[in-house]
Structure 1
Amino acid sequence: ATKTVKTAATPVEDTSWMFHDIVDAKFVKAHMTVPMPENVMIVDARPYKGKYIKGHIPGAISIPFSQFDKKTNLLPKDKNVLLIYYCEGVKCKLSHKSAKKAEKLGYKNVKVYAKGYPEWIGLKGNYGSLSAEHVAKQIAANNTVIVDARPKKPKFDKGHIPTAISIPFSQFDALNGKLPRDLNTPVIFYCGGLKCRLSHKSAAKALEMGYTKVAVFAKGYPEWKKTYGASNETVQVQAGEVEGSIDLERFKSIIANNPESIMLIDVRDADEFAKGSFKTAVNIPIENLEPKIKGLPDDKPIVFVCPTGARSGEAYYMIKDVRESLKDVYYVEAEIDFKSDGNIEIKKPK
């Protein structure tokens, strides 16, 4: 008689905890912009202190799974917004559990980036975003170069993160010799907050140069000032006005009553401008401005705008350098939120 040999049954892996809609890094990248679009939210489901502050996908907000129920107010009001959850890799269940909870709340477009942050940070060309606490720790440890990507005048000179060096993005190629020689030195770039692209563009250039430990502090100087104060401000703002900036109330009144009386130039990138701007604005991205300065009209005041005053301030100083004879030139020093419904919110800078 033939003996039947019992073989150990291959254990069937339980995948019931996994979310039903998994996406890859390419999908995540395709839905990220600076600023983040209103119809997309990337959510980091890992612990805030242990993981998020040390590095997260740029643009992601922190809702640790353990605090999901307490933080539902951070989720978008619109249930059709694309929600992308991630955590610490394929064995981490936090993003899957969070996604299931979000679906129960009625969100209709929920995805999980299952390979999560470990894969993200290992992919060529990618970098992480840090929190203010982690930047402060890095400064204390004294082993990191902090780079301010905003214009030197007026932004950096008016106030910056302690120990930061100034390499404005528009002068990156000319000034990149200020970066450390050792390509393994950690480098952190920052600029004017979540709507400012300068730190992200600088980080991409540093990665191209071969730097291996590149990060951004995406919330930038406004967040630093809010958290730690602006004790290092070096210049007092004259009479409530920054040099070159237009009085905010005056600007609002011109836009409301007589917008044709000024030449309004939006210096954001073309894709940002396409999503909405002031009706009379023309778009000249800051990187394309210099060769066009000679052709700008001198028969009416010129006013530059961007979301934070960083790029528009840079445009103002560029004109002062290139075409001094243009006297009636200003920029808007404010937080400007160009909303997708066409509304524009103008707030005093924090």
Structure 2
Amino acid sequence: MTCLQKMLVLVLCVLTLAATTVLGTDTAPLTAEGEIKSISVKARTISLVSGKKVMLLILDKDVGFVNAKSLREFTEGDKISVTYTLADGTNLATSVVKQVVKLPPGVTAISQVELEQLVEIGPTHGKYRLFDTRPFSQYQEGHIRTAVSAPYDDLARAPEKYLPEEKDLQLIFYCDGSTCDLSASAASLATALGYSHMRVYPDGMPGWKKGNFCVATSLDHIKNGNIVLIDLRTPDKVIQGHIPRAVNIPMSTLKDAEKKFPEYKGALIVFYGVTAADLREAIETVKDWDYSNASVFVGGVEEWQNQGYKLEAGPAASTIFYRRNFSSNEIGSVEFKKAIDGSDYQIIDVRSRDEFVKGNIPHAINIPLEEIPKRMGELSKDKPVILMCSTGSRAEMAYDILKNSGLKISCLKATVEFDKNGPIIGE
């Protein structure tokens, strides 16, 4: 081979390497693991907290799942490991593994059906103790009925404060699902202390909610939490005494009362005052309306009084007043409506191009979520940025990518739909 031929070969190699880099066809597999921050099934994307950074992963059309059949079986907080490639600046996930926690030796799993049966008959007749090993604040907002709060760190420091004297009593632990190790760690701790009958409910709170089983809210959260409290009793009983700030919607009229409830589908709705069967029906009713956070206050007025609190006499309110608490990176729907009428903001619509074409906000710029990393340079630092999509999920993912970019950013976590008259913005 002549010197000229060698030079031509070298030039071709360099050009090929450059083209590969520019076109993003370097498909060497990479791996990452961490905790899911948010998911968009519609956009097939996962926002993953890995170490100190947040990664945006786009699922390949032929992605493989392990310990799950589809993206719908994953939830926020799940621990996963992923294999992905870099394709034109995009993290393209080819494999997603749900990191299911293995139970310690001697510890068995309890099914949802068996746990429900025990909950119905109660700890005394069922001869069990049920422990919620999540942080206390999560327990207060919603827990499985009959469970007591035993945050793992507190349990590990002072097990005698939580565990019973009977070493052969059935102890059941749960936490935030199959990838959370708090319940397995608690069961292992109890085993080391000589307890002989340990069970773990692997699906935890996410599984319990998906099964439409009643979630209970603690008394302190009833008193102080940002909730919608519904008394389902008949007006003649309510007038004799009800929990302060409760709204009376009789069980017989609930199915026709959808328009009375907040637009924001993430509001915590708490029911009380009727039978267990009616409470379950109430939960199922509001879930059919797409409310994702419904629970019950099992003890009702009796527990309220037993804890030393007074009831209010007379008719309860019939109208729900709910004010949503916004996080620091959110913009409310009222402020957003004002923003789109002016020119002081950059409205970035992170939906797909097809969605954008079917309906959009005038002056909004369409940058699909997966293109945000490589197109962030198009955004001006002279105007605040508002990120939006159809539900808020993709907008929040885009926020995670841009939050350290030096831009002033907020996102709209609300439903946005379009008809012939323009945008319909929910709460």
Q: TM-score, normalised by structure 2?
A: 0.41
Q: Return the TM-score normalized by structure 1.
A: 0.49
Whichever structure has more strand as a proportion of its residues is 2
Q: RCO greater where, 1 or 2, for CA within 8 Å and sep 6 or more? A: 1
Q: Which has the larger radius of gyration?
A: 2
